[in-house]
Structure 1
Amino acid sequence: MRDQVQHVLDALRQQNGLYVASPSNTYHYVWIRDICYISLSELHRDGGRFEETYHSMLDIFRKYEWKLTYHAKHRPRAVYEYIHPRYSADTLEEISEPWGNAQNDAIGAFLFGIGQGLRRGKPMLRDERDAHIISLLIAYLETLEYWNDEDNGMWEENRELHASSVGACVAGLLAVQPYFAVRWEIIRAGFRALYELLPQESVSKSCDLALLSLVYPYRLLPPDLAQIVVTNVEEQLLRPRGVIRYKGDQYYQDSGKEAEWCMGLPWLGLCHAELGNRDQSLSYLALTMRVMAENMQIPELYLPEQGVANENVPLGWAHALFLVLYDRLCGTA
């Protein structure tokens, strides 16, 4: 089982160590956020794959070092000025078409991964230039004032202050603080903004799948609040084949019902593992196996009325969460 799921994920891995989100035409890009989540399945393993992935993402940032240098001191205003979260899989160039490029959580996720790797003794930084890129990203978040910056969020939609984005930045800054200069004031400002928003995701979304990131992988919440977030998602968003992102989601809406995202199932399993609820974690592992398509492929989502998956099969993010959950429950990590 595990080897088959790993094989599907490996097919999305490029020679440079990056991953395309999905082999479909619509998702054949590299997203910083997706890759950071995908790489979590390699965090506890040897062999160099985890750091190789981050070295290639650092190469993207090095290509746009001029942009980072400018916006480390000058706050971006227009969406295109933000550090982009999505790039061409072939050229690693920014995508020029209009997009919700203000996605602060992608930067937070990247810093979090760097910090996690360094804490485990992995050679995350190849030279001083890599270290300089990290310092620029830290300065970028401070200049951006991420704690009150309205971004497009994890789902790349309307701009507002998102708890998941603020939390990702807090987690990323905390992760690199032992190795880089990070002013405590900007972490404290992030925590303050985060707790003013919780348990909501934003002004417009009282409950959102993205909130699970605060429980896993970021582990930012005390147990009682983490349980509230998980319970809210289960009571409001859990569906038979997955988890809807939020109520009223228009993406792949089917007969007025929201699309059911498969990756929400292993994600909930990991959150329950964080809370010490092994039985619930095992239940979500089994549910994920039930929604797999052919050849152990996990789709992005199912249409609720038609009961069929969309074209984004497999989704790398979903496979990685399944592998992390499987390894955690089966004792291989």
Structure 2
Amino acid sequence: MDLLKLIEELEKLRRPSGAFIAASSNKDYQACWLRDHLYNVLAYYYLGEFEKLQKGVWVAFDILHKYLNKINKAICHPPSLNENVHEFIHAKYHPDTFNEIDNIWGHHQLDTLGLLFHVVADLDFKNIKVIRNKNDLKLIQLLVFYLLSVKFWENPDNGMWEEGPDLHSSSIGSVVAGLSYIDRREIVVVPPQMISMGKEVLNSILPRESFNREVDMAQLSLIWPYNIISRDIADVILSRVKSKLVQPHGLYRYQGDTYLGDRFIRSQDGVSAQWPIGFFWLSIIYSQRHEIKEAGRWFERGIKQVIFDNQIPEAYVNNKPNKNFPLAWAHSLAIIALKKIETENKQTITSQEVLD
């Protein structure tokens, strides 16, 4: 598959507002998940489309600006997963109005805010300005206080997969990475104890995803984009992912996962969905490690899962793609994986020319 086809499918999922829907084939997926949106926006950096990149981050800001009262309330009166989960920052929004969708949902997803902080700080480091004014700065500061109020290092969240509450290393690591980065860039004030307490709990869980789960595809985020763990811990996570989660059509999210690509259907026979996005994630990581052949192998495994010539589905169940396609953030990670492979190949050629 060529790059233009991957981009074309991703662009089809971008609404006039700048918000991405998750997928177009299923009405339930025609919503903007804030985390997925931010991963989608990352593709524009690798494509050199910086105006779209900025607009994508501004969409995230504008969604959160709309709920400043809610954020302030949560800072003063921290919500509880047992009583008022709808009072946490939501994960899912209407792509045109930015209204919240679904009160009854696993909305408390800490990694979304960690990703937002990471993106903002990383773009600041790269001299791509996404903070428009004092209101954006105030929002970021309030989000820091929000994370302090909900005690991200101590209280469980719903995690990347929006499921039962747990202390997830992927969630805590995301927040620690994001807070550390905005602190280094001196974007807003970050109480140092937030980072130190987060690191302490993170290190007590690693290399596991949680005390209840040995390995999870979400942990790949700790290696890329966050680069928040040591090489030794990353090696353990990669080894476990490859030995326990890799399947013919993609990765299990975790062992024993019963999600089948429809929130109303749960597996009763031990079958788990296989997510092609995991192949692209592994490809990106191996490009980061300058292991270009390994990166290429994982990318090719991902591309083999494409359906209808140019669409990457969310998952395969019983060797068949589920009904959620094309999955936007799978296309984004595929684009990033391909661009990283191209960059690594160019650097290899340049190095050889210098040696010659």
Q: With structure 2 as the length reference, what TM-score do the two structures score?
A: 0.90
Q: Which residue of 2 aligns with 1:54?
A: 57
- Alignment-mate amino acid for residue 18 of structure 1: A
**More divergent stretch after superposition (44-53 vs 184-193):** 44-53
Do the aligned residues in 2 keep the contact of 1:227 with 1:275 (CA within 8 Å)?
no
Q: Which residue of 1 aligns with 2:105?
A: 99
Give the distance between the partners of 1:200 and 1:29, measured in 2 at CA. Answer: 31
Does residue 232 (structure 1) correspond to residue 240 (structure 2)? The answer is yes
Q: Which residue of 2 aligns with 1:42?
A: 44
- Alignment-mate amino acid for residue 185 of structure 1: Q
- Alignment-mate amino acid for residue 291 of structure 1: Q
Q: What is the CA-CA distance between 1:255 and the residue it aligns to?
A: 4.5
- Alignment-mate amino acid for residue 43 of structure 2: S
Give the distance between the partners of 1:267 and 1:254, measured in 2 at CA. Answer: 28
3-state SS of 1:267 partner: helix
**More divergent stretch after superposition (268-277 vs 126-135):** 268-277
Give the distance between the partners of 2:68 and 2:298, measured in 1 at CA. Answer: 42
Corresponding residue to 2:213 among 197, 200, 205: 205
What is the CA deviation profile of residues 275-312 of structure 1, one whole-angstrom value per residue up to 9, with x for unaligned ones?
Answer: 33222111001111111111311100001x2x110111
Give the distance between the partners of 2:289 and 2:234, measured in 1 at CA. Answer: 8
Corresponding residue to 1:280 among 286, 290, 294: 294
3-state SS of 2:100 partner: coil
Does residue 319 (structure 1) correspond to residue 327 (structure 2)? The answer is no
Q: What is the CA-CA distance between 1:254 and the residue it aligns to?
A: 7.9
Deviating beyond 4 angstroms after TM superposition, the runs of 4 or more aligned structure 1 residues are none
Q: What is the CA-CA distance between 1:111 and the residue it aligns to?
A: 1.3
Corresponding residue to 2:93 among 73, 79, 87: 87
Q: Which residue of 2 aligns with 1:162?
A: 168
Give the distance between the partners of 1:149 and 1:319, measured in 2 at CA. Answer: 33
Larger Rg belongs to: 2
Structure 1, unaligned runs of 5 or more? none
3-state SS of 2:32 partner: strand
Alignment map for 1:1-333 (pairs within 5 Å): 1-23=2-24, 24-44=26-46, 45-77=48-80, 78-177=84-183, 178=185, 179-252=187-260, 253=267, 255-303=269-317, 305=318, 307-331=319-343
- Alignment-mate amino acid for residue 312 of structure 1: N
3-state SS of 1:199 partner: coil
Q: With structure 1 as the length reference, what TM-score do the two structures score?
A: 0.96
Q: What is the CA-CA distance between 1:96 and the residue it aligns to?
A: 3.7
User: How much is the aligned-residue C-alpha RMSD, in angstroms?
Assistant: 1.5
Give the distance between the partners of 1:254 and 1:213, measured in 2 at CA. Answer: 29
Structure 2, unaligned runs of 5 or more? 261-266, 347-356
Give the distance between the partners of 2:116 and 2:31, measured in 1 at CA. Answer: 17
